[in-house]
Amino acid sequence: MSRENFSNAAWPSRLYSGAWLLYAGYYICRKDQGSAVGPTASHMAAELVCFGIAYAIAQFVGGELADRFSARRVALAGAVLSIVCTVLLAIASPHMILFLQFGNGFGQGFGWPALLQLFGRWFGRGERDHVLGWWSISYILGGVLASSLTMWLTARTGVAAHSGFEPAYLVSAGVLLLAALLFYFITRGLPETQAVEATQKECDSNSSQGWFRVLGDRNIRYISAMYFFLKMTRYTLLFWLPRYLVSGGGYTSWSAAHIASSFEILGIAGPVAIGYIVERWFRDRYMQVGAIMLYALAFVCLVHPLLAGTGTFGMVVSVSLMGMLIHGSDLLMSGMAVLDTMPSQVHGRSIGFVNGIGSIGQAISPLLATLFVAHYGWSRLFDLFVFFAIVSGVICTLGARSQTGKPSPVNRSALKLSGIPL
């Protein structure tokens, strides 16, 4: 690799655009499972559990591989596995679906730790938060697009009605394939290997030492604990909100889909705003900001029955506020806080650990939602979200009280060598 390529200031913007496209494609192959699965709640729950278990395992594995080898290749490998499994899901027999969802979840789990590790290397502390805020639009819109494609194919074609064939999966796989190819060519030549070697000169990257460093950090333990409950809430709403609106709210499937989309579309404002807010006013005070947002989420969930009872407008307002607070606190704690807390040598492992713990909550959420609704009904589901939000907020409050206030050291020599602006 030439020295000129090493100092190329265009690499951060190229990485951003490539990662934006790739993770949007990732999410299209993730969210379609919640739209194109079988008609019963138990069938849907079983698939989501298989996906979630594999996704959690892959977070740990992908974080390790991203730190020790090439994060770019890890992200591409996960995309390839997800593409293959999604294509096969279109024609899979019933007894193969759970196996393929497990494979799809494993491939999907490589994307987040690998791409966040690249962002940690190529963007400095003074700009990374608002960059991640804007980047989050990729996976939020990717989820909306997946649902829209599935609805369109179901409404406009008769193919989905044929036994054993789901065209939505083929479309999703095609979109991710295109995104992966664009990411490959946009980031080809990224001087990633040299940056890794430079950071390893200052910190032993031995696998066991790296994990001990992650597990030994008090802030990471607090973030992981709160994220378990936050991600459980987020994915319950992400996949079960349309069912709640139909079964518990009396809306038609078409109206429910449009109302549910406000959770993601209007929820975009949350992470974008929090990126600027933290950078400008709350640098290194992630726990305090996270606690405020989570207590606000608990209040919104508490008054949700009142807002929903006023009609469609009140329902949209409530769902949108939940989307803003959940997506904002999600990216704040699982992305921004982790990257700023830990040194770059273990960014992949620390991101993978936090999201792996959170993904265990994600895997549990379908079973929890099914059992809770069966015993207490849809109207009480938001009481459960109030509890989760309060628990997460308390954990953040405890974490804020234990913080030393000293930011983690930044490996400036590696950043300078990589051409990253300081």
The pair of structure tokens assigned to 2 is 């030439």
Q: Is 27 helix (H, G, I), strand (E, B) or coil?
A: helix
φ/ψ region of 70 (left if φ > 0, alpha if ψ in -120 to 50, else beta) reads: beta
Residue-level pLDDT at 403: 66
Q: What is the mean pLDDT of the chain?
A: 81
pLDDT tens digit sequence for 44-84: 777 788 888 999 999 999 999 998 888 999 999 999 999 99
| Side chain identity, residue 190 | L
Band (pLDDT 50/70/90 cuts) for residue 400 is confident
Tens digit of each residue's pLDDT (9 = 90 or more) over 118-130: 998 888 877 888 8
Task: Using pLDDT thresholds of 50, 70 and 90, give the confidence band for residue 30.
Answer: confident
Both tokens assigned to 136:
């989050």
DSSP 281-323: H-TT-HHHHHHHHHHHHHHHHHHHHHHHTT-HHHHHHHHHHHH
Q: What angle do CA 49, 142, 254 make, to 5 degrees?
A: 80
Higher pLDDT, 16 or 402: 16
pLDDT digits (tens, 9 = 90+) for 298-319: 999 999 999 988 888 999 999 9
pLDDT tens digits, 85-139: 998 988 877 778 888 889 999 999 999 999 999 998 888 877 888 899 899 888 8
Q: Can you give the pLDDT at residue 320?
A: 93
Q: What pLDDT, in 10s, does the model give residues 329-360?
A: 999 999 899 998 888 888 999 999 999 999 99
What letters, b where the CB count within 10 A reaches 16 and e where it falls short, cover 380-390? ebbebbbebbb
Give 294's Cβ-side CA count (13 Å radius): 31
Which residues are CB-contacts of 229 (< 8 A; sequence separation ≥ 6)?
Answer: 361, 388, 389, 391, 392, 395
How far apart CA 374 and CA 127 sit, in angstroms, is: 46
Structure confidence at residue 156 (pLDDT): 56
Q: Which ranges constitute the DSSP H helices of 90-217?
A: 94-108, 111-122, 125-135, 137-156, 167-186, 192-200, 207-215
Q: What pLDDT, on a 0 to 100 scale, did the predictor assign at position 130?
A: 87
For range 361-383, the mean pLDDT = 84
Q: What is the pLDDT of residues 271-298, one digit of tens each?
A: 999 988 888 887 778 889 999 999 999 9
pTM (predicted TM-score): 0.82
pLDDT of residue 104: 92
Q: Are 52 and 366 spatial neighbours (Cβ–Cβ below 8 Å)?
A: yes
